[in-house]
Amino acid sequence: MLSRTLINVFLGATLTVASLGATAQTAAKPLRVGTMAGSDAQIFEVVQKVAKKRGLEIKLIEFSDYAQPNAALDAGDLDANGFQHRPFLDSQVKDRGYKLVSAGLTYVSPLGFYSKKYKSLKDLPNGAKVGIQNDPSNGNRALLLLQKEGLIKLRAGAGVNGKNATPLDVAENPKKLKLVELEAAQLPRALPDLDAASINTNFAAQAGLVPQRDAIAIEDLKGPYANLIAVRAVDKDKPWVKQLVDAYHSDEVREFIKTQFKGALIPTF
């Protein structure tokens, strides 16, 4: 019969092996990173390769609706996501109570207006149908750009200091533009039926549009809309977060963005 001491040693060794096995299994579990189909997914495929060389496995999960990645991250179905800028994240946190934070910046993707009929926003006729995004953050961007181009004027305080403007905030509209709110992904398909439309760069790229070449008006590249990697607040100091951000901020990813998107996306690192 084994002595009590030997039994304790045996049990301790068994528990240690089990613990190591559990740790190894946890470490081997890939990070679930959500992103949007299109340019974001292309970039994250490069990030995935860089991370793998550095010992970090990433499983990419693609979405086609801006509302889904943050909901999935907050629910724990993702470990991180990369598709949005700070104002969009701040808006979702405020409106939906998500406990999400930025872990690092990625690139700036200037929003632009496009048209199949006109070469400038100033050429739009009276009563022109102008498509804008129906989500608060990007709709706000579109309205601010229309105001910058002199087509509308927003009421005082709208569109600044975290207060997203909506079509209800348009105080002056000399050309009586008809603002048509649509989901961001629908705007490229709706462009032939509109006189002009505000289109996010990732959706513009999918439609074969190049912002620097095709946009009839475009945001200032030094604006506040740099995209970011988001994680849950409880995870922000975990080692894998820095590993993920460092993989994104690699020379390989920077060169891919510059070469692949030719100025449509601009690295912020």
Q: What percent of the chain has pLDDT over 90?
A: 78
Q: How confident is the model at residue 28 (pLDDT cuts 50, 70, 90)?
A: low
Flag whether the pTM goes above 0.85. Answer: no
More confident residue, 106 or 18: 106
pLDDT at 16: 43
Question: What's the token pair of residue 227?
Answer: 């995209």
CA distance 113 to 202: 13
Residue 27 confidence (pLDDT): 46
pLDDT bracket for residue 262 (50, 70, 90): confident
Q: Is the pLDDT of residue 26 over 60?
A: no
- Which of the residue ranges 14-18, 111-115, 162-166 would you say has the lowest mean pLDDT? 14-18
Asked if the model's pLDDT at residue 240 lies above 80, the reply is yes
**Per residue in 117-157, pLDDT tens?**
999 999 999 999 999 999 998 999 999 999 999 999 999 99
pLDDT tens, position by position, 174-228: 999 999 999 999 999 999 999 999 999 889 988 999 888 999 999 987 778 899 9
How confident is the model over 219-238, as a mean pLDDT? 92
Neighbour count for residue 37 (Cβ, 10 Å): 15
Show the tokens assigned to 252. Answer: 């390989």
Q: How confident is the model at residue 20 (pLDDT cuts 50, 70, 90)?
A: very low
DSSP H or E segment with residue 34: strand 31-36
| Residue in 123, 108, 132, 233 with CA at minimum distance from that of residue 191 | 132
Strands 266-267 and 112-114: unpaired
With helix as H, strand as E and coil as C, how does 179-245 read?
EEEECHHHHHHHHHHCCEEEECHHHHHHCCCCHHHHCCEECCCCCCCEEEEEEEHHHCCCHHHHHHH
Percent of residues, the chain, with pLDDT higher than 70? 90
Beta strands in 64-218 (DSSP E): 80-85, 100-108, 112-114, 129-133, 153-154, 170-172, 178-182, 196-199, 217-218
Is 33 in contact with 79 (CB distance < 8 Å)?
yes
What are the structural domains of the chain?
A: 30-110+224-267 (3.40.190.10), 112-218 (3.40.190.10)
pLDDT at 263: 78
pLDDT band at 54 (very low <50, low <70, confident <90, very high): very high
Q: Give the mean model confidence (pLDDT) for residues 22-40.
A: 76
